[in-house]
Amino acid sequence: MTAIPSDPEPFPPFEVERQEHVYRSPWCALRRDQVVLPSGKLQEYHVFEISPAAVVVPECADGRLVLVGQYRYPHGKTQWELPAGRLGAGEDPALGAERELLEETGYRAGSLHALPGFYPTGGISAHYAHAFWAKDCVWQQPTQHEDAEQIFVRLFSRGEIEALLDAGRLADAFTALPLLYWLRRRDREQG
C-alpha cells in the first residue's frame, strides 16, 4: 500500500486590502475583494458566497441506489442526480443529508457514513459539499418537494450506475463524484 503523500506546503494567504459585497440575498451573495498579490500588485478577486451543501449516496439493502430525475433551471436539463441540498444555518451536515434524502426521495437511511467532501468551485467560492453514504435505506413516506423542484425517483443497480458514469451521462458533479467515491469504498469493504 502506497503511503499518503503530504499536502503541499501552504502558501501564505493573500493580504486583504478591502472586502465589499456587491450583492446580498438570503440565497447567495457576491463579494468583490481587493487583495495584495505576493508581487505586491493589487488585484480584484470575486468570491461567490452560498451556504454549504450535503449530498447522499442512498443504497438499499438489496444494493440498489436511489436517484432522482431532476430539472435544473440554470442549464435547463433534466438529469439523474443524487439527493442533495443546502444546509440550513448551523444545521449538522449529517442531519441535513438525512433531511434532503427524505424530502427528495421519501427514503430513510439505516445508517450514515461519511464520504470525502469537496469544494465544487474552489477558485471562486468557499462553498463546500459534505458527502455521505446512506446504507440500508428504506422507503418511508411520499416525497415533500419544494415548489421549485421537479423530481421523480428511480432505483438503479450498481451496473447501471457504472454504465451511466462510463458513458459520461451523470454530468452533475454532486452526483458523479460521490458515486465514484462510493464505488471505490464499496470495493474496499468487500475486497
Site for a second copy in 19-58 (CB under 8 A): 22-23, 25, 27-28, 30, 32-33, 35, 37-39, 41, 43-48, 50
Contact of 152 with 161, CB cutoff 8 Å:
no
CA distances from 21 to 14, 28, 32, 88 (A): 18, 11, 6, 21
Which of 62, 90, 166, 191: binder of a second copy (CB under 8 A)?
Answer: 166
Q: How far is the CB of 104 from a second copy (least distance, A)?
A: 12
Footprint (CB under 8 A) of a second copy, residues 82-111: none
190 binds a second copy (CB under 8 A): no
Q: How far is the CB of 181 from a second copy (least distance, A)?
A: 7
Using CA atoms, how far apart are residues 80 and 172, in angstroms rounded to an integer?
8
76 binds a second copy (CB under 8 A): yes
Q: How far is the CB of 105 from a second copy (least distance, A)?
A: 14
Contact of 82 with 115, CB cutoff 8 Å:
no
Q: Is 62 left (phi over 0), alpha (psi -120 to 50) or beta?
A: alpha
